[in-house]
Amino acid sequence: MNQTTTPPPHWDLSNVYPALDSPRLAADMRDLEAQIATLAEQVAGLPADITAYDDHQLAYLVGAMIEKINALLVLGGTIEAYIASFVSTDSYNQQAMRLLSQFEQIFVRGQKALTAFSAWVGTTGERLPALTTANRVNQAHDFFLRETRDQSRYLMPAALEDLAADLNLNGANAWGKLQGTVTSQLSVDFELDGQVQSLPMPALINLHGHPDEDVRKRAYQAEMKAWESVQAPLAAAMNGIKGAVNVLNRRRGREDSLHSAIDGARIDRPTLEAMLGAMHDSFPTFRRYFHAKARRLGKEKLAWWDVFAPAGKAERTFSFEEARSFILQNFAAFSPDLEAFARRAFDHRWIDAEQRKGKRGGAFCMGVPGVKESRVLCNFDGSLDQVSTIAHELGHAFHNECMYAAGKTELQQQTPMTLAETASIMCETIVVEAALRQAASPGEELNILETGLIGDAQVIVDIYSRYLFEKEVFERREAAELSPEELCEIMERAQKATYGDGLDERYLHKYMWTWKPHYYSADRSFYNFPYSFGLLFGIGLYAIYQQRGPAFVPDYQRLLASTGEAPAADLAARFGIDIRSQAFWENSLGVIAARIDRYTKI
């Protein structure tokens, strides 16, 4: 269903390095190695007994270490982003794969030094407040230091943390690479528009939204068969990663598999429970939407291949240039700064949008700290959904821009996954709301509502199923490895619990676990509920924007600039939001419920 008149763009990182084999990249890799060696030596020289040192002496040591760590993170983050730009778009590129492995072998030594520094900060205990006020650098990193001290209690002894870092390269990290390689190189011969084409999996998955049910159904069947053919290695990857995380959680004294994810999200359990409770209570409303959609399609219940089906007689499609114009026009109405930023991203080819073999599915944004820029990956097919995806990822990039513009260091930019979705959801909402306002007919309004509700249902209903799936996988992995069949059973059971009678239970997506990369990161367990947090928090902020108008934007940009420097509850409180109250989440879900009401009446 690609409606583009010219191929969507590939991203350009030539201002970072000219090529993978450039002498400058090789020199920076050597410099990175030298910086890490120096950092490790200096961390090792930190005093084991701090009682012999006064606050001024300790504060100087802390400040010097912070500056070195920030410099290291800028250089390492730039190199990693550059190499990842090749790996993520062409998994056949062996040179990039080899360089990534070399980088990881070098950077793991830096991670060990950072872990050792974190453990040392933990020894400062009650003296830390005095150290953070002693000089400008420490004052600017007060939150980082306090959080580091508090989280240091969940570190193993130094020798075990070093061993864990080394083993991760050949364990969980390697399993994650396997999942990425297998899924990006899998393709299916598929008849489309009268021609048999070899489609990479992202292109096949995008056919979920094709207007022809025959195409959608055949794509679903082909997808199920394709995932079945690679389920064994992907199940091995899942077991390897979840097993490793379980072991480390026990060794580090974590309460359960959720503990580190909640701390990493900078929320608490009452906040998560309030949000999940509101989400659970909203399922009947979403099922009303599924039932209404089934009726539009002339069915009693939706099969999985109908979940993403478009509706309305005036389905709008976009060339990439039309998508660009639509996004810029509507970003400008929100903020000239946002529009100017997005224009720069388009003009300087920060976006890789073309679907092609070897390219990873989905979409993401990555920062490139050395040039204070971002890069966006998506798989553009001309649909409004993909236009909103570009807007979403540009929101992440704008978030980065706000931190860069405010002069935040790398340590000050460490944003939790929950708040990382704030700007992306805002930008996505801007585009969808604009599309609704500009609808030329009830049929077009229906189509736009459908696109928005498909996304909302994914982030509320499907994300909850992914949360249930991952929770059960972690719990059962404690006892034994899980077979592909067991993983499929858990996935289907989770989908039945959330979708309920909204879908035909005979046709769910039992292989959803195979291609979602979030399950395959040892460092990001439960990368599902943060999307829900981001959607509902973003909707809440958008409601405040509608009330306050342009006066909201400077406060919003300051919020984005500071998401790495406070807990989520404190940042939300700036706008009068209590994220521990289920009522806040219910109010945001009420906005979606109103869209469902409108959908059922058209």
pLDDT of 453-503, one tens digit each?
998 999 999 999 999 999 999 999 999 999 999 999 999 999 999 999 999
> What's the rounded mean pLDDT across residues 14-23?
98
Give residues with Cβ within 8 angstroms of 261, minimum separation 6.
Answer: 524, 525, 526, 529
**Res. 169: pLDDT tops 70:** yes
Burial of 549 (C-beta count, 10 Å sphere; 0-12/13-18/19+) = exposed
pLDDT at 448: 87
108 neighbors 173 (Cβ within 8 angstroms): no
Residue 269, CB-side half-sphere exposure with 13 Å CA sphere:
6
CA 452 to chain centre: 19
pLDDT at 30: 98
Phi, psi at 250, each rounded to 5°: -65, -45
Q: Which residues pair with 482 in a beta bridge?
A: none
Residue 197, CB-side half-sphere exposure with 13 Å CA sphere:
14
**Res. 136: pLDDT tops 90:** yes
pLDDT at 380: 94
Q: pLDDT tens, 532-542?
A: 999 999 999 99
Question: What does the alpha-carbon distance between residue 236 and residue 168 come to, in Å, rounded to a whole number?
Answer: 15
Question: What does the alpha-carbon distance between residue 75 and residue 78 come to, in Å, rounded to a whole number?
Answer: 5
Question: What does the alpha-carbon distance between residue 270 and residue 568 come to, in Å, rounded to a whole number?
Answer: 13
Residue 526, CB-side half-sphere exposure with 13 Å CA sphere:
24
What share of the chain in percent tops pLDDT 90? Answer: 89
**Res. 314: pLDDT tops 80:** no
333 neighbors 372 (Cβ within 8 angstroms): no
Q: pLDDT tens, 225-283?
A: 999 999 999 999 999 999 999 999 999 999 999 999 999 999 999 999 999 999 999 99
Phi, psi at 133, each rounded to 5°: -95, 0
pLDDT at 315: 56
Question: What does the alpha-carbon distance between residue 319 and residue 350 come to, in Å, rounded to a whole number?
Answer: 17
Helix, coil or strand: residue 376: strand
> What's the rounded mean pLDDT across residues 53-81?
97
Kindly indicate the confidence band of residue 408, based on its pLDDT and cuts at 50, 70 and 90: very high
> What's the rounded mean pLDDT across residues 368-386?
95
> What's the rounded mean pLDDT across residues 420-437?
91
pLDDT at 318: 92
Q: Nearest-CA neighbor of 31 among 66, 68, 85, 86?
A: 68
Q: State the DSSP code for 10.
A: P
Q: Considering the chain, what is the average pLDDT of its residues? A: 95
Q: State the DSSP code for 358.
A: T
Kindly indicate the confidence band of residue 439, based on its pLDDT and cuts at 50, 70 and 90: confident
Question: What does the alpha-carbon distance between residue 233 and residue 562 come to, in Å, rounded to a whole number?
Answer: 41
Question: What does the alpha-carbon distance between residue 492 and residue 494 come to, in Å, rounded to a whole number?
Answer: 5
Give residues with Cβ within 8 angstroms of 157, minimum separation 6.
Answer: none
Q: Nearest-CA neighbor of 541 among 576, 567, 570?
A: 576
Structure tokens at 567: 């807990």
Kindly indicate the confidence band of residue 4, based on its pLDDT and cuts at 50, 70 and 90: very low
pLDDT at 313: 62
528 neighbors 470 (Cβ within 8 angstroms): yes
pLDDT at 1: 42
Query: Taking each helix axis from N to C terminus, what angle separates 442-457 and 283-296, rounded to the nearest 10 degrees?
Result: 140
